[in-house]
């Protein structure tokens, strides 16, 4: 793990300076005057986060996929939601469920449920970690079975899987001072399909759960210092560029995440391009709720038409695209940032 390497590096540096001072102490018995030491440069002590467990995150993704597609208004969706609530509670979170009714692009009323796991709810200083837990009701970018829902192992499953593993780590470790809210937004991926009619309101057909929450958070007056969204964060060879909406609202959080990824040796995933702004949950959390939020999202503009990967919104978005190396890179990067907040 990168965090362990960094820890070892710090230990070595600290060890050598201790040895130096030890020699100085012995020297004080000699008659030679010892030169005054210049004060050391201030050292920013890097705190090691606990190691992320990609096997655990992978298992959380597999469990979600095993429920079947998590499309609002289905029994599979209800069952998976119940399981998410139970898992967060098992890890020690105080869980709040936010059920609601929202209208989809085609007029369908969706029974949605945002799920909020609060760690240290008494702490006013908070960080918001979020992902969407619903899956796309269509495979509208596929050539086959376009009207059938997808597994959503990457789109939906991966962000939730990583955050459940982070919740497990936070619940097992009492050294973190800041309060954390892990939020699973519903009804993100019910937006107007490729075959649907587009108009100026099409952007608002996405992210219905985060729009609902941003207009009426789970607690009156809720605030967080910043938010981090994980979306499509598990595919093999994933590429995370600096997403435009994140750069508009939360450039300093993007910098912290990308700097942490570099330090931990994950530069092959976290790239330097700035992509156009996307419509994703971080937009509504930033704009409506006023919490500057950064999105770690697999997105490459060089790969047309959309750059979210060839499996995006197709039946190929299943467990076979998930890579533990990618889960490790994202999980350790997020942990490093919140541990060094
Ligand atoms: Zn999607």
Task: State how far the Cα of 117 lies from the Cα of 108, in Å rounded to an integer.
Answer: 28
Counting other chains too, the contacts that 323-326 makes at CB distance below 8 Å and 24 or more residues apart are 323/234, 323/235, 323/236, 323/237, 323/238, 324/54, 324/55, 324/57, 324/58, 325/54, 325/236, 326/233, 326/234, 326/235, 326/236, 326/237, 326/238, 326/269
Q: What is the CATH class of 53-194+202-339? A: alpha beta
Reduced to 3 states, what is the DSSP secondary structure of residue 236? coil
Please choose, from the candidates 282, 314, 278, the residue with its C-alpha nearest in 3D space to the C-alpha of residue 153: 314
Query: Measured in angstroms, how far is the CA atom of residue 189 from the centroid of ligand 1?
Result: 5
109, two tokens: 């009323």
Q: Ligand 1 centre from 179 Cα, in Å?
A: 29
Per-residue model confidence (pLDDT) at position 173: 87
To the nearest whole percent, how much of the chain has pLDDT over 90?
A: 81
Read off the tokens for 179. Answer: 């309060």
154 C-alpha to center of ligand 1: Å? Answer: 9
pLDDT tens string 198-256? 998 999 999 999 999 999 999 999 999 999 999 999 999 999 999 999 999 999 999 99
Per residue in 115-136, pLDDT (tens digit) is: 999 999 999 999 999 999 999 9
CATH 3.40.630.10 residue spans of the chain: 53-194+202-339
User: In the chain, pLDDT over 70 holds for what percent of residues?
Assistant: 87
pTM: 0.87
Q: Distance, CA 85 to ligand 1 centroid (Å)?
A: 22
The residue with tokens 């992320």 is 52
Distance in Å, CA 313 to ligand 1 centroid: 6
What one-character-per-residue DSSP string does 314-341 give? STT-SGGGB-HHHHHHHHHHHHHHHHT-
Are 293 and 207 spatial neighbours (Cβ–Cβ below 8 Å)? no
312 CA distance to ligand 1 centroid (A)? 7
DSSP state of 158: I
Q: Please, what is the end-to-end C-alpha distance for the chain in angstroms?
A: 20
What integer pLDDT is reported at residue 300 of this predicted model? 86
Structure tokens at 14: 């600290």
Angstrom distances, CA of residue 198 to CA of 56, 122, 201, 290, 305: 40, 44, 8, 28, 17
Q: How far is the CA of 135 from the centre of ligand 1 (A)?
A: 7
């Amino acid at each position: 793990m990168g965090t362990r390497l960094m820890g070892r590096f710090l230990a070595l540096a600290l060890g050598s300076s201790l040895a130096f001072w030890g020699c100085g102490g012995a020297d004080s018995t000699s008659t030679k005057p010892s030169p005054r030491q210049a004060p050391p440069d201030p050292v920013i002590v890097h705190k090691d986060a606990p190691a992320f467990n990609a096997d655990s995150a992978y298992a959380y993704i597999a469990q979600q996929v095993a429920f079947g597609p998590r499309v609002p208004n289905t029994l599979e969706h209800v069952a998976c939601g119940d399981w998410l609530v139970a898992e967060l509670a098992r890890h020690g979170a105080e869980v709040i469920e936010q059920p609601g009714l929202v209208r989809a692009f085609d007029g369908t009323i969706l029974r949605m449920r945002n799920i909020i796991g609060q760690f240290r709810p008494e702490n006013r200083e908070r960080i918001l970690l979020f992902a969407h837990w619903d899956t796309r009701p269509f495979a509208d970018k596929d050539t086959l079975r376009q009207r059938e829902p997808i597994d959503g192992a990457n789109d939906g499953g991966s962000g939730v899987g990583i955050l459940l593993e982070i919740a497990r780590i936070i619940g097992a470790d009492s050294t973190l001072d800041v309060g954390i809210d892990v939020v699973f937004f519903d009804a993100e991926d019910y937006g107007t399909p490729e075959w649907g009619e587009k108009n100026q309101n099409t952007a608002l057909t996405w992210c219905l759960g985060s729009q609902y929450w941003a207009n009426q958070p789970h607690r009156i007056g809720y605030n967080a210092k910043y938010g981090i969204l994980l979306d499509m964060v598990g595919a093999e060879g994933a590429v995370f560029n600096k997403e435009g909406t994140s750069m508009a609202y939360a450039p300093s959080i993007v910098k912290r995440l990308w700097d942490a990824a570099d330090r931990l040796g994950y530069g092959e995933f976290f790239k330097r391009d700035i992509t156009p702004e996307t419509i994703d949950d971080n937009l509504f959390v930033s704009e409506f709720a006023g919490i500057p939020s950064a999105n770690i999202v697999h997105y490459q503009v060089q790969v047309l038409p959309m750059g979210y990967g060839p499996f995006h919104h197709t039946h190929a978005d299943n467990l076979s695209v998930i890579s533990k190396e990618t889960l490790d890179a994202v999980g350790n990067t997020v942990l490093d940032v919140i541990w060094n907040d």
